[in-house]
């Protein structure tokens, strides 16, 4: 997954859709403090809309516009409530044909951009 300024696009079919979306909201995250397994929390100043299975969004504070492809949008949906990176990747791996290492690497790239732009926060709490 290549990421540029909050716009996530896949460069190949590694994350091609394999299963129907399943709800992840309400699933319990493991209570642990692993520096390699941060808790992902969304910021609150993003107005968003779904367009053809993708997401367009406006960051209210900065005025920046974002476009998320279907994969990045799914990550955004799964992080509606605070979620551990490991739990997010486990949900993605069960829905897409992707191995755990590739999934975590690609999600970390997206999270780096989203964190830099203030759209998500990573913490250990």
57 φ, ψ (degrees, to nearest 5): -150, 155
Q: Where are the domains of the chain?
A: 38-124
What distance in Å separates the CA atoms of residue 34 and residue 100, rounded to the nearest whole number? 17
Residues 108-117: tens digit of each pLDDT: 999 999 999 9
Instruction: Identify the band that residue 44 occupies on the pLDDT scale cut at 50, 70 and 90.
Output: confident
- CATH class label, 38-124: mainly alpha
- Strands (E) in 13-116, as ranges, are 39-42, 46-51, 54-59, 65-68, 83-84
CB 1 within 8 A of CB 15: yes
Q: Which residue has the tokens 């250990």?
A: 124
Better-predicted residue by pLDDT, 120 or 23: 120
> pLDDT value at position 30?
44
The maximal CA–CA distance of the chain, rounded, in angstroms, is 38
> pLDDT value at position 5?
36
Q: Give the residues across from 49 on adjacent strands.
A: 56
Residues 78-107: tens digit of each pLDDT: 999 999 999 999 999 999 989 999 999 999
Better-predicted residue by pLDDT, 125 or 72: 72
- Strands (E) in 43-87, as ranges, are 46-51, 54-59, 65-68, 83-84
Q: What percent of the chain has pLDDT over 70?
A: 74
Question: DSSP 3-state assignment of 107?
Answer: helix
Q: What is the mean pLDDT of the chain?
A: 79
């Amino acid at each position: 997954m290549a990421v540029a300024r909050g716009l996530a696009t896949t460069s190949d079919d590694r994350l091609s859709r394999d299963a129907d979306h399943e709800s992840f909201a309400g699933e319990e995250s493991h209570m642990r403090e692993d520096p390699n397994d941060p808790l992902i929390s969304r910021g609150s100043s993003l107005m968003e809309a779904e367009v053809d299975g993708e997401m367009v969004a406006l960051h209210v504070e900065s005025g920046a516009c974002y476009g998320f492809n279907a994969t990045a949008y799914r990550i955004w949906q799964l992080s509606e409530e605070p979620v551990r990176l490991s739990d997010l990747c486990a949900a993605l791996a069960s829905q897409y044909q992707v191995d755990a290492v590739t999934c975590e690497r690609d999600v970390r790239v997206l999270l780096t951009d989203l964190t830099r732009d203030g759209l998500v926060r990573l913490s250990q709490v």
